Structure 1
Amino acid sequence: MKTLLLAACAATLSLGTALAGGEGWTDDFEAAKKQAAAENKDLLIDFTGSDWCGWCIKLNKEVFSHDVFKEGVEDKYVLVELDFPKDKSKLTEETLKQNAKLKEVYQPKGFPTILLADPQGKPYAKTGYQPGGPEKYVAHLNELQESKVARDEAFDAASKAEGVEKAKALVAALGSMKLADATLASSYSDTIEEIKAADPDDETGFVKKIELKEKFAQFETELNKYGQNGDRDAALKLVNETLAEDEFGDPEKQQITFIKAMILAEKKQFDEALTTLDAAKAIAPDSKLGARVDSFKEHISKSQAESKAPKTEEKKDGE
């Protein structure tokens, strides 16, 4: 009876620990970093939605579940799965908190997002689903390793330079990885501080660029909060205040102006919305967003006409 109880407990403890990637993966990030450092490997981090993300499921089925993949990466990477399932019972409370924190750090823009990172957890390359099966995926990862080589060579060059030249070398190191600015800001904050110290007048323009990206991300976060609450007035106030500060470049300014037009349309202030769309297009007529403005104007004009059309009364039974 004692043996049966122990077996039942072991089975219970194992529930929810099976990872979508299968054998060879871990969801313990800190343990993975220690293992990577001890074994002189890098981290392969998979941001996935195991029970809802079609491309994630496809990547697991076509690539990660195959021995060819596991054998191809076993000497180079510790495999880390950061899952964001709809069914939260699949993960422990500790893992849910860990994954949420890491999502804030690495800022994945979609799922699946695959990051390659050094043993300290600093990413140097990003990818996602790739067709072609496990052999082709392993070859793709091998190509991405060149980003780490380029990063480290640039860091080495920076260590031998001073002043603005050092800042330029560090900026080149960060740029070589082709990572999102938000990821760089959170993962390479020490490097950004070095750039600031080496280039206090910001001759490279890099610091201002990063700060504006962070500010725009804060704007989006606050705007989304108002959107979730359905508070259009607060959202419009935020947009107007942000435009009045006039700190962003044309791409961001056009996007914010476009958002303002959409809020005005939702508030049924159609004439003002149409005028604001014209202003958005004028900022950068040839951009992707600028090219879409006319189609949005058509939709808003149609909504405006429908709002002015007289409503027909429903006929009563027998009429």
Structure 2
Amino acid sequence: MSKWIPLTLACLFHLVAVTVNAATGPDWIRDFEKGKQIAKSEKKDLFLLFTGHGWCYHCELLDQAIFQKQEFVDTMSKQYVFVELDFNFGNTPEEKKRETRFRQLQSHYLAPGAPTVVLTDSDGKPYAFLTGYDNKTSLQDYLNLVTTAQKAKTKRDALFTAAAAESGTSRANLLSHALDSIRPQLGDIDERGDEPLLHFYKDTVEEILDLTDNTGSIANKYISLRNSRTAWIADNAVFDKLKYFDSQKDYAGAIKFVDESLKTIKNEKVRWQLEMTRQAYLEWGDQFEQALANCQRLLALDEIPEDSREAFLNREAFNLFRLNRIDEGIAHINQRLRDAGSDKAKRLKLFNWQIQLMHNRAPVEKSIEACQRYRNETKRGTDDWLQATYFLALELRRAERHLQALKVIKEFLAEDRTSYQLLDAAESLIALKRDQEAADVLEEARSLIQPLKTSPRKSEVDEYQRLSKTIDKLTRSMSNRSVPQ
């Protein structure tokens, strides 16, 4: 599971196959300290979730595919107290205080992205992270990951207990083995933004070093870890300095700073991260010509890593479309589809990217064709099929082919009956002057979103208000039409 986005991003991701309906699933507690108290009293661990409902696509996927499953709730509630920290904040003083608390917990728990799950004991000490979510991860896969983490914690605790009866090097050895048992579950410094063992188990590491007088193989392991952390911090310090430019939205200043940093930084991984950061600043500053040239410059380099190559190819396509060089953008993606050959996963990613880039930019008939090609390569009911079907319906409506759009929307609704698609169906029915059917669909949508009104999640309350306004607007459009002119 590797798909997550930074919790500091303020952008809103348009959710298509996954839309917001009233959440079921665990009985989430939204106060960390209260969650800890309950965990202690019930002798359970904490299942601590950092999430972003309404703007984080993979958070919604994880919620619907895993957390809302009854088997998950039944299995996990025996062992965990569920705490949800949802990174959606209002502008009231209370909301500002809540954001401050959540940001402090985010920093303490080294959770830079969403979704991130931290498994902790009742004292709040982490023993495993489940980072991101990939829709190929089944419920059983997820439960297996938790089981593996629990086994590591059990081993940790047994070794800590054994160490309590020992002293000197023998105690240090047992403490070190205890840390070794959970270290693979904590992630690495690149994922966490700090070395997890040195951050969460600082006292244990210091005790090991004291017990060994900072000499020998056990001590050397942690001395080496400290040195690696120091080097990593030095290499990545540039990204901390960029936070100032981000806060000021000074993209020109940020680009200048990146260019100066690239002259001195030798670490290749950091260099390519900086190159991608520079690319982002160019695009955020609407410098699409320069951004396109930057992509093409980097793609011409022989030493570009493969993952960076794919990322910059995507940015090249993005900037072609932003510059309204539509035919070049389409040709770019089509060539990559040919290059992908029979690689199904790669082809589906490319189709997905293509239809998002073409939507509302390319000539509508070309967009319809791209959506149909995408859909033809998918299996009905899968996320890719839902994505392709959703965009196909949008493009058919854009072309005012409402009968065809309605047929496609009904296929979607047969697989996933969500409020957004009901509203899309109503819009096409209104265009076809089938007002009674439209009214029935709008009533169903209104009923479907009603639980959102009293949700403890701010994002769901906001969603309720947005969808209610859309329902009211569509209802008025029928009423206005029925009034004699």
Do 2:51 and 2:84's aligned partners in 1 also have CA atoms closer than 8 Å?
A: yes
| Higher mean displacement: 19-28 or 57-66 | 19-28
Q: Distance in 2 between matches of 1:116 and 1:20?
A: 22
Alignment of 1:142 with 2:147, yes or no, is yes
Number of equivalenced pairs = 256
1:254 is aligned to: 268
Aligned residue among 209, 221, 233 for 1:196: 209
Alignment of 1:212 with 2:228, yes or no, is yes
Unaligned ranges ≥5, structure 1:
1-18, 244-252, 282-288, 299-319
Q: Distance in 1 between matches of 2:26 and 2:227?
A: 41
1:99 is aligned to: 102
Do 2:30 and 2:84's aligned partners in 1 also have CA atoms closer than 8 Å?
A: yes
- From the superposition, tell whether residues 88 and 41 of structure 1 become closer, same or farther in structure 2 (CA, over 3 Å): same
Q: Distance in 2 between matches of 1:75 and 1:84?
A: 27
Q: Distance in 1 between matches of 2:41 and 2:278?
A: 57
Summarize the alignment of residues 71-90 of structure 1 with structure 2, pairs less than 5 Å apart. 71-85=74-88, 88=90
Per-residue Cα deviation, 1:1-37 (whole angstroms, up to 9, x for no partner): xxxxxxxxxxxxxxxxxx9665511111111111111
Per-residue Cα deviation, 1:250-289 (whole angstroms, up to 9, x for no partner): xxx332455677899999xx9xx99xx89xx6xxxxxxx7
2:342 is aligned to: none
Q: Distance in 2 between matches of 1:81 and 1:42?
A: 14
Do 2:25 and 2:73's aligned partners in 1 also have CA atoms closer than 8 Å?
A: no
Aligned residue among 185, 188, 192 for 2:198: 185
Report the RMSD for the aligned CA atoms in angstroms.
4.1
3-state SS, counterpart of residue 176 of structure 1:
helix
3-state SS, counterpart of residue 45 of structure 1:
strand
Q: Residue 46 of structure 1: CA displacement?
A: 1.0
Task: Please tell me the residue identity of whatever aligns with 2:103.
Answer: A
3-state SS, counterpart of residue 69 of structure 1:
helix
Q: Distance in 2 between matches of 1:232 and 1:52?
A: 27
Task: Please tell me the residue identity of whatever aligns with 1:255.
Answer: K
Do 1:202 and 1:208's aligned partners in 2 also have CA atoms closer than 8 Å?
A: no
Identity percentage over the alignment? 28
Q: Distance in 1 between matches of 2:276 and 2:28?
A: 44
Normalising by structure 1, we get a TM-score of 0.63
Do 2:258 and 2:278's aligned partners in 1 also have CA atoms closer than 8 Å?
A: no
Q: Residue 166 of structure 1: CA displacement?
A: 4.0
Q: Distance in 1 between matches of 2:121 and 2:265?
A: 37
Normalising by structure 2, we get a TM-score of 0.44
2:383 is aligned to: none
Q: Residue 201 of structure 1: CA displacement?
A: 3.6
Per-residue Cα deviation, 1:140-181 (whole angstroms, up to 9, x for no partner): 423321011121133234445555554444333223222134
Do 1:226 and 1:232's aligned partners in 2 also have CA atoms closer than 8 Å?
A: no
1:38 is aligned to: 41
Do 2:157 and 2:178's aligned partners in 1 also have CA atoms closer than 8 Å?
A: yes
Summarize the alignment of residues 261-272 of structure 1 with structure 2, pairs less than 5 Å apart. none
Q: Residue 239 of structure 1: CA displacement?
A: 6.2
Q: Residue 40 of structure 1: CA displacement?
A: 0.5
Do 1:106 and 1:186's aligned partners in 2 also have CA atoms closer than 8 Å?
A: no
- From the superposition, tell whether residues 159 and 62 of structure 1 become closer, same or farther in structure 2 (CA, over 3 Å): same
3-state SS, counterpart of residue 114 of structure 2:
coil
| Higher mean displacement: 40-49 or 211-220 | 211-220
- From the superposition, tell whether residues 155 and 238 of structure 1 become closer, same or farther in structure 2 (CA, over 3 Å): farther
Unaligned ranges ≥5, structure 2:
1-21, 283-289, 314-485
Aligned residue among 47, 56, 61 for 1:58: 61
Aligned residue among 189, 202, 222 for 2:240: 222
Do 2:26 and 2:67's aligned partners in 1 also have CA atoms closer than 8 Å?
A: no
Q: Distance in 2 between matches of 1:294 and 1:25?
A: 41
Q: Distance in 1 between matches of 2:81 and 2:199?
A: 22
- From the superposition, tell whether residues 197 and 62 of structure 1 become closer, same or farther in structure 2 (CA, over 3 Å): same
Q: Distance in 2 between matches of 1:125 and 1:30?
A: 19
Q: Distance in 1 between matches of 2:245 and 2:260?
A: 13
Do 1:46 and 1:82's aligned partners in 2 also have CA atoms closer than 8 Å?
A: yes
Do 2:119 and 2:127's aligned partners in 1 also have CA atoms closer than 8 Å?
A: yes
3-state SS, counterpart of residue 85 of structure 2:
strand
Q: Residue 294 of structure 1: CA displacement?
A: 9.0
1:132 is aligned to: 138
Do 1:26 and 1:32's aligned partners in 2 also have CA atoms closer than 8 Å?
A: yes
1:5 is aligned to: none
Do 2:168 and 2:211's aligned partners in 1 also have CA atoms closer than 8 Å?
A: yes
- From the superposition, tell whether residues 153 and 239 of structure 1 become closer, same or farther in structure 2 (CA, over 3 Å): farther
Do 1:167 and 1:198's aligned partners in 2 also have CA atoms closer than 8 Å?
A: yes
Q: Residue 42 of structure 1: CA displacement?
A: 0.2
| Higher mean displacement: 144-153 or 33-42 | 144-153
| Higher mean displacement: 137-146 or 55-64 | 137-146
Task: Please tell me the residue identity of whatever aligns with 1:193.
Answer: E
Q: Residue 225 of structure 1: CA displacement?
A: 2.8
2:15 is aligned to: none
